[in-house]
């Protein structure tokens, strides 16, 4: 830690905090990926998690994923609710026997001392109806605050995980707020500098929160979104159908990733429609099911690709 300059210390800067986590997981042999270039509701949607969790090949990755939750927008007025925030995602397949210990060490790396704080693993069964996925694990608490999600994936995209992958999701803003000791997300020090050089989270994102809240709740073009949903759904099915090598023998698939992009797209468009309040309770269920069907079909295709397959 001594080598770290003050402005990069995890307790002083948001970016330093992220870099500390990346460094820690890089040291565990993870590939450090960059965010996926599409809008999604959670880091789990990244193909590096959803698809790579499937199939027998070992896989270790860590990355930051901007997560969009259109419904959670509060026009920048709530101290800790955002429609766009960062998740830090770690996926390790097969789950190592010491994953809990690794997780605790990662907390130490960002300045949370387990001898001083009360860290707890509290039951939380994870389920994603849109991804056709479930797993068992915990919410990880630090002094009563939920700071991470810890899951052993049992099933993803309707496919049994064999072997099981372990997934960690850190809520970055919340953890950084704790470590920096601020009560309002917008007060987070982003770059670790003081005085005129200091850039806060609010400097970077407050205006975006206001604008997107306006967009998500009041002005998003519902008509267009409905069409986009249908288009993404059709495109996904089309690519999946076209991807089977040598026609329909369903032994090898060559386009699982592009098809899955359309599934991600459909899911995000659904979230936008939901935030806009144009989907009724009954319709809601059917949209979720439609996305799940896409996810399942993509999972099925993925396990017939080179990276997802047995051969």
Q: Which is nearer to another protein, 94 or 158 (CB)?
A: 94
H/E stretch holding 78: none
- Residue 123 engages another protein in binding (rule: CB under 8 A): yes
Q: Which of 75, 152, 226, 244 binds another protein (CB under 8 A)?
A: 152
Q: Which whole-number Å values give the CA distances from 44 to 4, 90, 156, in the listed order?
A: 30, 9, 10
Q: Which two tokens stand for residue 290?
A: 């439609």
Who contacts 200 (Cβ-Cβ below 8 Å, separation ≥6)? Answer: 186, 187, 188, 189, 190
Give the pair of three-digit tokens for residue 121. Answer: 């693993």
Is residue 168 helix, strand or coil? Answer: strand
What region, left, alpha or beta, does residue 247 occupy, with left being phi > 0 and alpha being psi -120 to 50 degrees? left
- Residues 182 to 241 in contact with another protein, rule: CB under 8 A: 183
Report 242-281 residues binding another protein (CB under 8 A). 280-281
Collect all residues with Cβ–Cβ distance below 8 Å to 304 and sequence separation of at least 6: 244, 250, 251, 252, 253, 256
With contact defined as beta carbons under 8 Å apart, do 123 and 146 qualify? no
* Residue 77 CB, nearest approach to another protein (Å): 10
Does position 120 interact with another protein (CB under 8 A)? The reply is yes
Is 15 a residue that touches another protein (CB under 8 A)? no
56, 57, 60, 61: CA torsion to nearest 10: -100
Query: Is position 145 an interface residue for another protein (rule: CB under 8 A)?
Result: yes
Q: How many residues bind another protein (CB under 8 A)?
A: 40
Residue 161 binding another protein, by CB under 8 A: yes
CB of 257 to another protein, least distance (A): 23
Q: Please, what is the Cα angle at 16 between 11 and 17, to 5 degrees?
A: 60
Nearest distance from C-beta of residue 152 to another protein, angstroms: 5
The yes or no reply on residue 122 touching another protein (CB under 8 A) is: yes
Contacts with another protein, 65-94, as mask; x by CB under 8 A: --------------xx-------------x
Report the residue number, 100 or 210, with the smaller CB distance to another protein. Answer: 100
CB of 259 to another protein, least distance (A): 25
**Residues at the contact surface with another protein, assessed by CB under 8 A:** 56, 79-80, 94-97, 100, 113-123, 125, 135-138, 142-145, 152, 154, 161-164, 166, 178, 183, 280-282
């Amino acid at each position: 830690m001594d080598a770290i300059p003050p402005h990069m210390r995890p307790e002083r800067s948001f970016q330093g905090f992220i870099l500390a986590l990346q460094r820690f997981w890089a040291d565990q042999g993870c590939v450090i990926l960059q965010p996926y270039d599409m809008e999604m509701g959670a880091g789990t949607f990244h193909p590096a998690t959803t698809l790579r969790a499937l199939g027998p090949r070992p896989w270790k990755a860590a990355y930051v994923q901007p997560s969009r939750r259109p419904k959670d927008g509060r026009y920048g007025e709530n101290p800790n609710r955002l429609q766009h925030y960062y998740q830090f995602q770690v996926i390790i397949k097969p789950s190592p026997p010491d994953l809990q210990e690794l997780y605790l060490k990662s907390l130490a790396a960002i300045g949370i001392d387990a001898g001083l704080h009360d860290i707890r693993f509290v039951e939380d069964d994870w389920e994603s109806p849109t991804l056709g996925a479930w797993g068992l694990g915990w919410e990880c608490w630090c002094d009563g605050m939920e700071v991470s999600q810890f899951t052993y994936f049992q099933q993803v995209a309707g496919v049994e995980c064999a072997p099981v992958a372990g997934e960690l999701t850190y809520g970055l803003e919340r953890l950084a707020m704790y470590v920096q000791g601020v009560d309002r997300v917008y007060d987070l020090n982003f770059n670790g500098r003081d005085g005129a050089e200091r850039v806060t989270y609010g400097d970077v994102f407050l205006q975006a929160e206001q604008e997107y809240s306006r967009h998500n709740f009041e002005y998003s073009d519902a008509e267009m979104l409905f069409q986009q949903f249908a288009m993404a759904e059709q495109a996904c099915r089309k690519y999946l159908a076209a991807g089977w090598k040598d026609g329909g023998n369903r032994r090898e698939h060559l386009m699982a990733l592009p098809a899955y992009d359309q599934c991600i797209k459909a899911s995000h468009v659904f979230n936008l429609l939901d935030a806009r309040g144009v989907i009724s309770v009954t319709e809601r269920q059917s949209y979720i099911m439609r996305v799940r069907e896409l996810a399942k079909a993509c999972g099925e295709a993925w396990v017939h690709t080179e990276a997802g397959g047995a051969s």
